[in-house]
Amino acid sequence: MNIINNLWDYRHLTLKLAISEFKLRYKNSILGFFWSLLEPLLMLLVLYVVFTNFMRVKVEHYQLFLLMGIISWNMLSRGTAMSLNSIIGKPGLVQKVYFPREVLVISSCLTALLMTLLEFIVFGFFMLIFNVMPTITIMYFPLILFIEFLLILGLSLGLAALNVYYRDMQYIWAVVLQAGFFAAPIIYPISIIPEKYVWIIMLNPMTRIIDMLRGSVIYSASPIFGDGIFILAAALIVLAAGYLIFLKLEPGFAEEM
Amino acid sequence: MDAVVVNGLCKTFRLPHEKRNTLFERITGTGKKGYEEFVALKNINFTVKKGEAVGIIGENGSGKSTLLKIIANILRSTSGSVKIQGKITPFLELGVGFQPDLTAKENIYIYGAIMGLSDKDIDARLSEILEFSGLKQFRDAKLKNLSSGMQVRLAFATAIQTNPEILLMDEVLAVGDMEFQQKCLDVFQRYLKEKKTIVFVSHDLNSVRRFCSKALLLRHGEQVAFGNTNEIIDKYVYGVDDKELHNENLQSESKIEEQKSMEKRTRWGDKKVEITDIKFIDKFGRENNTFNSGDAMTIQINYNVNAPVDNLVIGIAIYSDSDLMCYGTNTDIQGFVPNNTTGSNKIKICINNLTMMEGKFHLTVAAHSKEHIPYDWLDKQFSFNVIKKGNNVGLFEIPCEWKQ
């Protein structure tokens, strides 16, 4: 409780850092933040062409299905990748002033969240174009997104702290993300997985998160209660583990940099 | 009320022979093994009371900045404890977290947030900050397009808006031009008047003397003394209570230097009388070459009379570092007759009050006859340093008082 109270005192700084980082991302490019929207759209285009013409995947509203998968996966990969650098990338802030170092990681995750929210706005336009209207089930969307955010935060805290001591963490993590993109049902539906392997795919909390996000926004499906408990529990466990690693390593940050 | 209590503080750094920075190296065991331990701080104990200003002094590498960083919670101690009562504002570096790609105004808000100011605080003081830093017309310019001096002014103007309870300062006063330094000093004065707690690291003994009632002297990570500023600075300058180490170092260094230069062309004379050694002695009777302005200094001259001479005169002259002759005198002028028996002799000249303000001074010592035939003339072969005391400026202290 004490830790949370302490962090709450720094909410202003956390937001300030997140927003300035967000501004910086787009300040130097001519197309501004359209770049960030262009990236998932181009990815969508390529994957869409490949998977509808060659793989013959049959999914209702496949364009939206795919785009939702890409955006929610991107939030994870962007959030953790930015967090990996959030501490070693700011030696001045770590070695010359003191505030809880968690602030740096949280603000990086918030920047990733802001960028993802922009992409979801584009997603809204796509729904209009394809004439898919969300129903009341969309009210679960922010809740699921929040649970995903907790999961990302947990991973980020652990990874960012480890990266101070072992700089190859970022390369290892890049490989894990690459594999994860294909191991999670982003481009394909779970239904194409042979029955006996489904449980393995389901262990990955991102499987259920992506599935539930799609259900609530595109297919007007209420999430199953058990699934909700599963992802919440997974997110909290990862958050606790990540934070423990972070707290264990944090005292040496200024020396190790 | 105690604001900072440091108790039995130790800090050891591990210096690996080769840093293992990757998981790969860790697992495979490549990269050289082992590390050396470096003791940066050893058993430091002191207390800063609320509203007190304490200066930390010591040579480079004595652990001053490490101590400050541990108090600021940036580094963690290896053992011992630091107890803090109140909110700490560290001024270890100005402009931490500046984003060169954002505008001056945006940076004020970010830097303000880092220093613990809310947007509201800054809204209220924005014009004041811009005014103070003289950057009104550049408020919307990108920071990277401002000169480094402008950036420092902007950082300083923002930083002083904070309302610190405990202020940690590390040589911040040492950057910038005269005008900027004056502004820093004014702010420092203001904080003192407002009874803020201040911990101040500096090489500038004069500002420590001026602002801090107490001082902590560190040497090689060990606490030499803590107490009244003037006493501590005396200890620092004269190395009193020291295990002779300091003085020996100093002696051997200066001797080597002397010997090297002794033979240069700046020495002449027929060596009928030979000057063998010069010692500067401080008010504690120890050999030294750094003195506080206003303190006593004795110059001891050892000389050998090799051949019988009549009318021996021994003289000295003091030059400033810019080669201005400040003062000269000799035994003849003052009506003193030095011993001229064959063999080794000693003579002392006692100065009760060193009136020079500060800087390096060079000494000429000469033995010559009344007719100015030089026996041994050592031209500006020796030097000593004077450290400023008080705030008057110039080359010499002139005793005076104001009346109305």
Highest mean pLDDT among A154-158, B25-29, B97-101, B191-195: A154-158
Contact B289, B306 (CB under 8 A): no
- Which residues span the domain enclosing B24? 2-238
Q: Hey, CA dihedral for B264, B266, B268, B271, is it positive or negative? A: negative
Q: Which residues of chain A have pLDDT under 50?
A: none
Residues B270 and B382 in one domain: yes
Residues B276 and B136 in one domain: no
Residues in chain B, total: 404
Q: In the predicted model, is pLDDT for residue B138 greater than 70?
A: yes
Q: In the predicted model, is pLDDT for residue B32 greater than 60?
A: no
Any domain includes B393: no
Residues B288 and B229 in one domain: no
Contact B173, B211 (CB under 8 A): no
pLDDT of residue A33: 67
SS3 B350: strand
pLDDT of residue A240: 97
CATH number of the domain where residue B149 is located: 3.40.50.300
Which residues, in sequence order, are CB contacts of A72 under 8 Å at separation 6+? A116, A145, A148, A206, A209, A210, A213
ipTM: 0.84
pLDDT digits (tens, 9 = 90+) for B361-399: 989 999 988 888 888 888 888 889 888 888 788 888 888
| Nearest CB to B97; choose among A28, A92, A168 | A92
- Contact yes or no for A20 and B21 at CB 8 A: no
How many domains is chain A partitioned into structurally? 1
* CA Rg value for chain A: 19
Q: In the predicted model, is pLDDT for residue B23 greater than 60?
A: yes
pLDDT band at B238 (very low <50, low <70, confident <90, very high): confident
How many C-beta atoms lie closer than 10 Å to residue B252's C-beta?
A: 10
How many C-beta atoms lie closer than 10 Å to residue A179's C-beta?
A: 10
B379 interfaces chain A, CB cutoff of 8 Å: no
**Residues of B with Cβ-Cβ distance to A17 under 8 angstroms:** 110, 113
- Nearest alpha carbon to residue B233 among B398, B58, B107: B58
pLDDT band at B307 (very low <50, low <70, confident <90, very high): confident
How many domains is chain B partitioned into structurally? 2
Average confidence (pLDDT) over B75-80: 90
**Residues of B with Cβ-Cβ distance to A165 under 8 angstroms:** 21
pLDDT of residue B242: 46
pLDDT digits (tens, 9 = 90+) for A84-142: 999 999 988 898 888 899 999 999 999 999 999 988 988 998 899 888 888 999 999 99
DSSP assignment of B183-221: HHHHHHHHHHHTT-EEEEE-S-HHHHHHH-SEEEEEETT
A25 interfaces chain B, CB cutoff of 8 Å: no
Q: Containing H/E element for B55? A: strand B53-57
pLDDT of residue B271: 86
B142: closest CA of chain A, how far (Å): 11
**Residues of A with Cβ-Cβ distance to B114 under 8 angstroms:** 13, 93, 97, 99
**Which of A102-111, A152-161, B204-213, B261-270 has the lowest average pLDDT?**
B261-270
Note which residues in 240-269 of chain B have CB less than 8 A from chain A: none
CATH number of the domain where residue B295 is located: 2.70.50.60
Strand order in the sheet with B197-201: B79-84, B2-16, B35-49, B222-228, B214-219, B53-57, B197-201, B166-170, B88-91
| Nearest CB to B114; choose among A13, A95, A169 | A13
Residues B274 and B228 in one domain: no
- Which residues span the domain enclosing A204? 2-256
Beta bridge partners of B305: B273, B343
Residues B90 and B137 in one domain: yes
A143: closest CA of chain B, how far (Å): 30
Specify the higher pLDDT residue, B317 or B249. B317
Average confidence (pLDDT) over B221-249: 71
Average pLDDT, chain B: 83
Residues B234 and B270 in one domain: no
Contact A151, A240 (CB under 8 A): no
